[in-house]
Amino acid sequence: MRLDGKVAVITGGGSGIGAATARTFAREGARVVIADIDEKSGDAVAEEIAAAGGTVDFRPCDASRPEEIEALIAFAVDTHGTLDVLHNNHVSFESGRVGDLSLDGFRRSLDASLTAYWYAIKCALVPMVAQGRGSIVNTASVSGLAGDYGLGAYNVLKAGIVNLSRVTGIEYARKGVRCNAVCPGPIGTPPIERLHDAAPQIWTDIREAIPMGRYGLAQEIANVVLFLASDESSFVTGSHVVADGGLHAHSGMPPIGGLGPDF
Ligand X SMILES: NC(=O)c1ccc[n+]([C@@H]2O[C@H](COP(=O)([O-])OP(=O)(O)OC[C@H]3O[C@@H](n4cnc5c(N)ncnc54)[C@H](O)[C@@H]3O)[C@@H](O)[C@H]2O)c1
Residues at the contact surface with ligand X, assessed by CB under 6 A:
11-12, 14-18, 35-38, 41, 61-64, 89-92, 112, 139, 141, 184, 186-187, 189-192
Question: Cβ closer to ligand X: 131 or 223?
Answer: 223
Instruction: Give residue number: closest CB to ligand X.
Output: 16
Is 172 catalytic? The answer is: no
Nearer of residues 43 and 175 to ligand X, judged by Cβ:
43
- Minimum CB–partner distance for residue 70 and ligand X (Å): 14
Q: Which is nearer to ligand X, 37 or 121 (CB)?
A: 37
Catalytic residue among 117, 119, 154, 215: 154
**Closer Cβ to ligand X, 41 or 155, answer by number:** 41
Q: How far is the CB of 190 from ligand X (least distance, A)?
A: 4
What's the closest the beta carbon of residue 155 comes to ligand X, in angstroms?
A: 11
Q: Are 111 and 93 in contact (CB under 8 A)?
A: no
Residue placing its CB nearer to ligand X in the complex, 15 or 230: 15
CA distance 204 to 110: 29
Q: Which residues of 18-54 are buried (b: 16+ CB within 10 A; e: fewer)?
A: bbbbbbbbbbbebbbbbbbbeeebbeebbeebeeeeb
* 4 neighbors 29 (Cβ within 8 angstroms): yes
Supply the minimum distance, in Å, between the C-beta of residue 182 and ligand X.
8
Tell the smallest beta-carbon distance from residue 130 to ligand X (Å).
Answer: 26
Residues with catalytic annotation?
154
